[in-house]
Amino acid sequence: MMHQDIEGQEIIERYVRNQLTAEERQAFEEHFFGCDECFEKLQITERFIAGLDDAGNRGLLDSAPSASAAPARTWGSWMFPAFAASSCVAVALAVVAGWTLFFQMPQLRRQLNQASTDASAQREAIAALQRQASAATQAETNVPLVMLQATRDAQAPANEAVLPAGAAHLVLWVEVPAKNTRTFQLKVETEDHRPVITLDHLERNSYGALATSLPAAQLQPGEFRIMLSAEEPPPASLLAEYKLRIRRP
């Protein structure tokens, strides 16, 4: 049983008044035994209703006595109806205050917290977009570039790229071995086969080669394996493998 069900269906008050079905009672008991908030509300509601019942048993909530019941109007007979009316007003105010304090206020606090969380998330998203826009408008000079040489010899030296401090991208230049392939896939993974970057639907440039940039932040110093595959026309097939070593000065 969820909190919105308990509040929306007035489960706590109906439980105290023994108006729940057996299934509803069992579900609510299983809930409030593990929920401090609902257990506290249940105790407060039980005390509140018990106070109303006690006031009713004492006659504080009854209507004023009729004329036949008291032929003589003494000072006490005038004051008691006034006191009873004041008690009714006080009880009504207590009901309203109790409902607001224990049912409405938690819901309003949850709504306020959710609105605050949403606003914070929106501010963070806007700040991230502003940083991206600022970075996109700044020209990057001396972009590191490496021309990949394919090899299947495990002992062959790796292609090496040096990424200076502040470099945002590394440009890869790949001579395409297949002349009939229209689009390609380039997959980068670590030496222990953990995927890093996958670029799909690459096409040749005007020089008949592939030129693409990789985010430098995802290329930590170490060895990488780069696989070039044909996409279209099918079937997909591996065309070449490259070894790349990233160094930082």
pLDDT for 117: 81
Continuous segment of H or E residues that includes residue 52: helix 36-57
Q: Is the pTM of this model over 0.85?
A: no
Q: Considering only CA atoms, which of 21, 90, 20, 27 is closest in space to residue 55?
A: 90
Low-confidence ranges of the chain (pLDDT < 50): 63-79
Q: pLDDT (tens digit, 9 = 90+) per residue, 38-93? A: 778 877 877 777 777 767 777 665 544 444 444 444 444 444 555 555 556 666 66
pLDDT for 180: 85
Which of the 8 DSSP states describes residue 207? T
pLDDT for 78: 46
Q: Are the C-beta atoms of 228 and 186 separated by less than 8 Å?
A: yes
pLDDT for 196: 94
Q: Where are the domains of the chain?
A: 3-136, 145-247
Q: Are the C-beta atoms of 184 and 191 separated by less than 8 Å?
A: no
pLDDT for 137: 59
pLDDT for 72: 45
pLDDT for 25: 84
pLDDT for 132: 66
CATH number of 145-247: 2.60.40.10
Compute the 3-state secondary structure of the chain and give helix, strand, coil in percent, each to the nearest 5: 45, 25, 30
pLDDT for 197: 94
Helix axes 36-57, 22-32, angle to 10 degrees: 120
pLDDT for 61: 58
